[in-house]
Amino acid sequence: MIMVYDVNVQRVSKVLHIGRRYLTWVQNSVMEGSLTNAQFKRLKSEIRQVIEEDEDSVLFYTIRSPKDVRREEIGIAKGTPSNFV
C-alpha cells in the first residue's frame, strides 16, 4: 500500500499522525506499508474524518502484484490519472 496526500497545511499533521499508525513515512506526504483489509478500512475512515473532501486529496495505491495495481482517491481530484511503473 502506498498513501500519498495533498492536504491543507492545517490538516497535514493530523493526516500524518493517522497515517503513521498504519504505515511507514518514507518522504513528504508519502507513506507505505502492508495493511489488512480491516486496517485499510479503518485508515480510510479516520482520514475521511479529518480532511475536507472538496479541498484535500488522498490517494491510495494498492499493489497486490506487479500486474495488479489499484488506485483509490478520497477528496478532490488533482489531475488526470495515468499509469505508472
Q: Tell me the domain boundaries of the chain.
A: 2-75
Residue 73, pLDDT score: 82
Q: CATH number of 2-75: 1.10.1040.10, 3.30.70.240, 1.10.238.10, 3.30.200.20? A: 3.30.70.240
Residue 38, pLDDT score: 97
10 Å Cβ neighbour count for 44? 15
Residue 64, pLDDT score: 81
pLDDT tens, per residue, the chain with 85 residues:
999 999 999 999 999 999 999 999 998 999 999 999 999 999 999 999 999 989 999 999 998 887 888 888 888 776 655 555 5
Burial 15-43 (b: 16+ CB within 10 A, else e): beebbeebbeeeeebebbeebeeeebeeb
Residue 45, pLDDT score: 97
Residue 74, pLDDT score: 82
**6 annotated to a ligand binding site:** yes
